[in-house]
Amino acid sequence: MHKLAPLLLALSCLPTQGIGQTQQPSAAAEPPAWVLPDPHLPQVERVLFSSTAAAAQVSYFVLLPEAYAQQPEQHFPVLYWLHGAGGGSRGLPQLCSWFQQAMDEGKIPPMLVVFPNGLSLSLWVDSADGSLPVETILMQELLPDVDHRFRTIPSREGRILEGFSMGGYGAARLALRYPQSFAAVSILSGGPLQKDFSTGPRSNPKQREIVLNRVFDGDPAKFVAESPWTLVAAMDAPRKLPKLRLVIGAQDEMLQNVLLFHDHMLRHGLEHQFQILPKAHHNAMEVFRGLGFENWDFYRQAVGKKPPQSAGQ
């Protein structure tokens, strides 16, 4: 459980900027895989719930800390992890091992880590035609379901949202659309964070067209309307935003777009942590390792926990 392996490249793929070389999206729309197979991992539960928005059963995974069984009266914070393109099972063993080891070593307090199912190319947005209501499922159904089933801290103060690549795009959007729902939001190698959908450093026109058709009904203006870039510009008054961090690797092809988004946030007065990691490519584990102790410190500060004296780097 504690032996770490490199995160699968497919986890870090983003449909407009990170399609893996070995798996190209098909132009033909496939039925949404709302229920994913049980991964059969230690301390990981697969949960099924009936989604009104999808008119189907939907699955998510939950990593439970050992303290959950040992402290039956305790309520715990929750980290929601938004995956990249390719689906919610990719890289799950590595991520669970990473977070479990951090809890075992006292780097972060015991918390639930929830892995929602964002399908493969949703961008964590409700599709324009209504057939893929991913955002509605997450925010209106999944969060309440987690709080109902598990002993959580069922409020803003007990929730962290984090996403990588496509999940980073989703985390950025949701931080701005639902600032009351999360204490902290972590945007790791997020994309597509550019102003429009015309280009992407890790994509080709065919791939962008597929995502545009599946999610935005073929209308580039709908991408612009939903984008974090537009949401930032629309903020005309100070709001109580979550604690925000924006992280990108210096070797990541999306660096320039993230730099522009960082400047865009500053121009509109959105305070956030920003960090460029010198050796990191578009790879989640490289980003985590590049952040080092600062990564765990971000989580602890979000839920108001101090590191124990024995916690190492």
What would the pLDDT profile of 141-153 be if each residue is shown by its tens digit? 999 999 999 999 9
Question: Which has more confidence, 301 or 17?
Answer: 301
Q: What is the pLDDT of residue 28?
A: 46
Say how far apart CA 95 and CA 81 lie, in whole Å. Answer: 10
Check: CB of residue 16 under 8 Å from CB of residue 211.
Answer: yes
**Mean pLDDT for the stretch of residues 40-57:** 97
Check: CB of residue 115 under 8 Å from CB of residue 33.
Answer: no
pLDDT band at 29 (very low <50, low <70, confident <90, very high): low
Domains in the chain, CATH or no CATH each: 9-20+32-302 (3.40.50.1820)
pLDDT band at 13 (very low <50, low <70, confident <90, very high): very low
The label of the residue with tokens 């059963």 reads 57
**Mean pLDDT for the stretch of residues 110-133:** 96
Say how far apart CA 283 and CA 285 lie, in whole Å. Answer: 6
Question: Which has more confidence, 242 or 21?
Answer: 242
**In whole angstroms, how far apart are CA 88 and each of 76, 98, 104, 257, 289?**
23, 16, 24, 25, 22
pLDDT band at 292 (very low <50, low <70, confident <90, very high): very high
**Mean pLDDT for the stretch of residues 255-267:** 95
**Mean pLDDT for the stretch of residues 26-43:** 81
The label of the residue with tokens 């629309």 reads 234
Write down the pTM of the prediction. 0.88
Say how far apart CA 42 and CA 64 lie, in whole Å. Answer: 9
Say how far apart CA 54 and CA 66 lie, in whole Å. Answer: 33
Q: What is the pLDDT of residue 206?
A: 78
Q: What is the pLDDT of residue 152?
A: 98
Q: What is the pLDDT of residue 305?
A: 73
Beta strand 44-51 with 56-63 is antiparallel
Tokens of 252: 């990541």
pLDDT band at 239 (very low <50, low <70, confident <90, very high): low
CB atoms under 10 Å from CB of 196, counted, come to 13
Query: What pLDDT, in 10s, does the model give residues 71-89?
Result: 999 999 999 999 998 877 8
Judged by DSSP in three states, 49 sits in strand
Task: Indicate whether 3 pLDDT > 50.
Answer: no
Task: Indicate whether 11 pLDDT > 50.
Answer: no
Task: Indicate whether 295 pLDDT > 80.
Answer: yes
